[in-house]
Amino acid sequence: MPTTSTNPHLPFGENKNAEWYGKDILSVKQFTRTDLEYVFGVAHEMRGMVERVGTFDLLKGKILANLFYEPSTRTSSSFTAAMERLGGSVIPISEVKYSSVSKGESLPDTIRTLECYADVIVLRHPETGSAAIAAKAAKKPIINAGDGVGEHPTQALLDAFTIMEELGRLDNLTVTMLGDLKYGRTVHSLARLLSQFSNIKLNYVSPDILKMPKEVMEEVGAKGVPQAEFSSLEKVLPETDILYVTRVQKERFEDPADYETVKGAYVIDPEIMKAAKQEMAVMHPLPRVGEISTDFDDDPRAAYFRQMEYGLYVRMALLAMVLGKA
Ligand code: ASP
Ligand code: CP
C-alpha cells in the first residue's frame, strides 16, 4: 500500500494531512469523480494485497466500533473483515438490545461512549439523518452504513466499483432501477452518485406506491440526467446496461396490507432476461427475497455475488482513508 507518514520512524504512521483523514462518510454527495477514482485505486490495491497476503498490518492497533441498530449481514461482516484484514480489531454491537440503548441511552451518548474506545464508528440506524446526528456528537469519523430510507453511501461506492469492474465505464450508461425505489436507500445513493457522470440515463421501474422520491429526482434532474418512470420492465430492458434490482422493504411500510399488494411485483428470471443485452450486468444490494430467481445465478450477467465481494475492498479503502493510512 502506498503510505505516507509525517514521522519517518513510523512507516505506517498516520498522515494527518491526507484529504480524508478524520472525515465522516455520511453521503455520496461528498464524493466527486476524482474522489471516486482515488477510492477505486486504493480498493484495487487492497484487492491485490488480500489476494497476495490475506491480512496485513496497515491498521494495526486501530479499533472499529460496528454499531448496528438494524439487521445486516454484508455491511456488518464486510466492515469487520475489512478491519481485521488490515490488522485492526472490532467492537461489534449488532444486537443493540443487549447494549445500554435498551436502557434508553440516546444515540449521541452511545456515540460519545464508543469513541472513547474506538478510532472509527460504523453506524446503521433506522432513522434518516441519524448518521449526521452521530457525526455532530463525535470527534472520531462516523461512517454511515444506512440511515433509514436516507442513504447507504458505502453501498453506492461499491456499486459504482462493481459497474467499473463489470462494464469498464461509469459514463455512457443506461441504468434501470427496479423494485422499491421509495424506501430503498441504496438506489437513493446510487442515483445521486451516478448523476455526476456523462451521458447517464436513469430508468425507474416500480409499483405506483414505491416510486423514486421527488427530492432525489429533483437533485438528479438538476445535474441534467434524463430520468423516466415506468411500471413495467418490458420497454426498457433491451436498452439497459445495468439492471439494479431491489427488495421491497417490508419493514418500512406503515400499513402491512400495502406490502401485500406489491410484494413479488417483479421477478427476474432467465426467460425475462432473454430480452436483455448480452453485455450488461444485473446487480442487487442483497438480501434478495424472490426478486431474482436462483435459476439466473449462473448467467455471466448475474453480478450480485461479485458485487458483495467488491464491498470488502471498497470498505478496506474507506477505513484506510479516514484513518490517514491511504
Ligand atoms: N441491504 C440493503 C440495505 O440495507 C438493501 C436491503 O436491505 O434491501 O439497504
Ligand atoms: N447490502 C447490504 O447492506 O446488505 P446487509 O443489509 O446485509 O448489510
Q: CATH no. for residue 282?
A: 3.40.50.1370
Residue 243: predicted pLDDT: 99
From ligand 1's centre to the CA of 280, what distance in Å?
Answer: 22
Residue 97: predicted pLDDT: 83
113 and 124 assigned to the same domain: yes
Considering the entire predicted model, what is its pTM?
A: 0.95
317 and 303 assigned to the same domain: no
Residue 12: predicted pLDDT: 53
pLDDT tens track for 159-188: 999 999 999 999 999 999 999 999 999 999
Q: Is ligand 1 within 6 A of the CB of residue 285?
A: yes
Q: Is ligand 1 within 6 A of the CB of residue 186?
A: yes
Q: Is residue 266 part of a domain?
A: yes
Contact 87, 63 (CB under 8 A): no
At 216, list the grid cell.
Answer: 432525489
Residue 98: predicted pLDDT: 81
Q: Is ligand 2 within 6 A of the CB of residue 227?
A: no
Structural domain for 133, as ranges: 28-151+311-322
185 and 224 assigned to the same domain: yes
pLDDT tens track for 250-267: 999 999 999 999 999 999
Q: Is residue 12 part of a domain?
A: no
| Mean pLDDT of the region 18-46 | 97
From ligand 2's centre to the CA of 204, what distance in Å?
Answer: 21
Mean pLDDT across the chain, nearest whole number?
95
159 and 129 assigned to the same domain: no
- Pick left, alpha or beta for residue 17 (phi over 0 → left; psi -120 to 50 → alpha; otherwise beta): alpha
What DSSP letter does each residue of 62-92 carry, written as one string?
Answer: -EEEEEESS--SHHHHHHHHHHHHTT-EEEE
96 and 168 assigned to the same domain: no
pLDDT at position 1 over 50:
no
Position in ligand 2 atom list of the atom nearest CA 308: 1
182 and 234 assigned to the same domain: yes
Position in ligand 1 atom list of the atom nearest CA 184: 9
Mutation test residue for ligand 2: of 73, 157, 245, the one with most atoms within 8 Å of CB: 73
| Mean pLDDT of the region 44-58 | 98
248 and 277 assigned to the same domain: yes
pLDDT tens track for 69-125: 999 999 999 999 999 999 999 999 988 888 999 999 999 999 999 999 999 999 999
48 and 66 assigned to the same domain: yes
